[in-house]
Amino acid sequence: MSLRDWLKNGWLIEHQTSTQEIEDLLSVADRDLDNCQTAGLSPDWKLNIAYNAALLMATAAPAAAGYRATRDAHHYRVIQSLAYTIKADARLITQLDGFRKKRNISDYERAGVVSDQEVKEMVILAENLRASVIKWLRTNYPKLLQE
């Protein structure tokens, strides 16, 4: 499997990115990584913000390679595509996908399904993903980074 195969399957569409778009994705991810640690927020909400940061980082990678995920199962595809962009290991993908599902469970009765420890794990994951994506961009698409 490769991103080209995904394109043939209709899971991705071709996309022309720009330095500005990559910069915007990274800066919003940074903002979210900062905001998710705001004291007083509920664990559910912190997890949501940290997850958003990770998803933006994960979106920047296929965008740099000339693709974006279609709307159908968008988050799922973006997460799975990390195997073909930054060569993320199966464990990271399983963990991030687990958080994607957890984030979808947000009705009142289950408002406490997120523990503080899970928030910490999600934040560490998002920070590690940020470092991996930037390293990958620097190696493969240095012109897209404003450094």
Partner 1 sequence: MTTVTKKGTIVPIMGTITESYNLSAALFGKTRRAVLSLLYSHADESFYLRQIARFSGTGHGAIQRELKHLSAAGIIRRTVRGKQVYYQANPECPIFTELRSFVAKTSGIGDILRSALSPLVDKISIALIYGSVAHGSEYQSSDVDILVVGEVTFAEVVERLGPAQETLGREINPTVYPPAEFKSKIAKGHHFLKAVLSGSKIYLIGDEHELARLVEKRLAD
The stretch near partner 1 (CB under 8 A) out of 18-26, 80-88, 112-120, 127-135 is 112-120
Which of 7, 31, 35, 95 forms a contact with partner 1 (CB under 8 A)? 95
DSSP states of 68-95: EE-STTHHHHHHHGGGTTT---HHHHHH
Rounded to the nearest 5°, which phi and psi values hold at 84?
A: -105, -15
| CB of 68 or CB of 102, closer to partner 1 | 102
127 binds partner 1 (CB under 8 A): no
CA dihedral defined by 102, 106, 107, 109, rounded to 10 degrees?
A: 60
> Rounded distance, CA 28 to CA 96, Å?
19
| CB of 15 or CB of 120, closer to partner 1 | 120
Which of 94, 131, 140, 146 forms a contact with partner 1 (CB under 8 A)? 94
Contact positions vs partner 1 (CB under 8 A): 91, 94-95, 97-99, 101-102, 105, 109-118, 121
